Amino acid sequence: MPSPLIILHDATQKAWLKFCDPHEILWSTQPEEVIDHLLYLEQKVAKEKLYAVGFLSYESAPAFDSAFSTPNQTDDFPLLWFGLFKEAQTINLSSCRASNFELSPWQPTVLDQQYAKAIQEIKAAIAQGDTYQVNYTIRLRARFTGDPFGYFRRLVAAQKAKYAAYLNLGDFVICSASPELFFLYQQGHLVCRPMKGTAKRGLTHEEDQNQADQLVRSVKNRAENVMIVDMIRNDLGRIAKVGSVNVTRLFEIEKYPTVWQMTSTIEAYTEANFAEIFKALFPCASITGAPKVSTMKIIAHLESSPRRIYTGSIGFLTPENRAQFNVAIRTVWIDRRMNIAEVGVGGGIVWDSTVEGEYHECLTKAQFLTHPAPDFALLETIRWTRQEGYFLLPEHLERLQKSAAYFDYPCDLPKIKKALLEYAQSFIDSQKVRLTLKADGTFAIQSQPLPDSRGLVQLVPAKAPLSSQNIYLYHKTTFREHYEKAKPEYLNRESDCEVLFWNEHGEVTESEIANIVVKIDGKLITPPVSCGLLAGVFRQKLLEQQIIHEEKILLSDLIKCQEIYLINSVRKWRQAKIHTFPHR
């Protein structure tokens, strides 16, 4: 069996640490051995200046309190696994070799009816006073072949996971893209930062900010968050110095690629040892519910399979007596013997929870599994003429700034504007200027002669719809895979031809490089942005001037159009006609 390989992100040092060739390995499937192993690990780390790196599964909880109940586990998945290592190598994750992998679609192991029944049972338990909140979770499974590290790299690239970890232990592999801190310990100072409260990211900058604002104001989410904060305060109080437990941040909102998360921070000072910290805090209150003992009994009854590493904890203890452990959410376990990948998702169920709302939250949280991580730049194409200079430059820069804020791209607008103006000083003829902004904040400017806008454009309908839920339709970027996939196999290259896109509801959206305007009954109308399209700056100007108006346009409406136009800020107005009408 190959030697274990572990790679973790050290959030304090902002570095990736690699551990290989362990000096010693400790693992156990017996609850009564867990605390002894933790005490031994701490002793070896202090005495021999080693690193202890590994995990505790959720099912290890009874080792710390015999009153804790967990789902039955019949396989040999460890309750505890730790390696003792002589050194930690700091590495560049992106330079590590990764191979391809194949993953089948994820399938839930709990059917809709089972999920609804579980929610009903939880509400009955709440009504009886047995619990206030239950963190009920389900599993999803998929066939997995290929390189697990390649999959881990993709997860990390797609997520802002401060506490990510990769553990290749031979028969099984753990790929954790966790953003949640269980605890950070350094020189007697303990920090816990539970996550409780989730909202889906919006599609546009404005919608996204609205989602964040609604999460902050949500009575339900704030109540859940406070409940967990109080539990962790009580847990810390068991080992903290008197008067040292403080809530230093409450209801903070953190942005991730697919969701907004609400977090709070609780700090304390302690003289407790490694095992005592786990005994007081594990499992994290954010993934059980309240009160912990009775709620874990409900979880053990309702959840049909063990959580294993999911909602357990992965981390390390250093020779300097510094420890970092995550809450193992957004964590995939891969069984290499069976070629099966498993992940858990869930949420806190309270009295006013709905089946539909909680199931939707599970699916939202599971988006991290498939969320693409394209390497793209933000893009603006701007018209320049001697008469006008840059056409609608403030509007272009405002759109760029909003998309940069959405994707967390650094954007120095004054510097970009200055560079654009300097770049234009050498222009003689009219130009189409291309501005790109990368994820690291660097930008580039290119130009070419302004294209001819004369002539009738042939519009060829896309062969398949685009999803109006695709965020990349709402931001101008260099990532255009969705457009390419929807293009017909043939295009009339002999003439000025563009693809006309439509969404899953049969509504017209846009062309490859322009918004669409049609005249019906003498009125110029353009589809609303919510149909799944880019809010063009020229389109916005025409709306403000009330020259065009927003209204949904079905594909079937194109038959009765008196005129069709394509509009953008580079070519302005171009007349178009449908080249081939789709068969529907």
**According to the model, what pLDDT value does residue 552 have?**
98
User: What percent of the chain lies above the pLDDT cut of 90?
Assistant: 84
| Number of C-beta neighbours around residue 386 at 10 A | 9
- For 378-447, CATH number? 3.30.470.10
Phi-psi region at 283: left, alpha or beta (left = phi > 0; alpha = psi -120 to 50): beta
Nearest to 160 by CA among 261, 256, 259: 256
Q: Whole-model pTM? A: 0.88
**According to the model, what pLDDT value does residue 372 have?**
57
**According to the model, what pLDDT value does residue 496 have?**
64
pLDDT grade for 359, boundaries at 50, 70 and 90: confident
- For 5-96+104-369, CATH number? 3.60.120.10
Map out the domains of the chain as residue ranges.
5-96+104-369, 378-447, 457-578
pLDDT tens, residue by residue, 370-397? 765 678 999 999 999 999 999 999 999 9
For the cut 70, the answer to whether the pLDDT of residue 299 exceeds it is yes
**According to the model, what pLDDT value does residue 1 have?**
59
Higher pLDDT, 19 or 154: 19
Measured CA to CA, the distance from residue 185 to residue 220 in angstroms comes to 31
By annotation, the residues acting in catalysis are: 180, 196
**According to the model, what pLDDT value does residue 366 have?**
83
What average pLDDT does the segment 325-343 reach?
A: 97
- Mapped onto helix, strand or coil, the DSSP state of residue 515 is strand
Look up residue 200 and give its two tokens: 């889906």
What average pLDDT does the segment 263-287 reach?
A: 97
Q: Which fold has domain 457-578?
A: D-amino Acid Aminotransferase; Chain A, domain 2 (3.20.10)
| Number of C-beta neighbours around residue 543 at 10 A | 15
For the cut 90, the answer to whether the pLDDT of residue 369 exceeds it is no
Measured CA to CA, the distance from residue 582 to residue 555 in angstroms comes to 9
**According to the model, what pLDDT value does residue 491 have?**
63
pLDDT tens, residue by residue, 407-463? 999 999 999 999 999 999 999 999 999 999 999 999 999 999 999 888 899 999 999
For the cut 50, the answer to whether the pLDDT of residue 568 exceeds it is yes
| DSSP β-bridge partners for residue 183 | 325
Cβ(234)–Cβ(281) below 8 Å: no
User: What percent of the chain lies above the pLDDT cut of 70?
Assistant: 97
| Lowest-confidence segment of 72-76, 139-143, 415-419 by average pLDDT | 72-76
List Cβ neighbours of 345 (8 Å cut-off, separation of 6 or more).
137, 138, 140, 362, 363, 365, 366
Measured CA to CA, the distance from residue 419 to residue 417 in angstroms comes to 5
| Lowest-confidence segment of 42-56, 238-252, 493-507 by average pLDDT | 493-507
Considering just the CA atoms, what is the radius of gyration of the chain in Å? Answer: 28
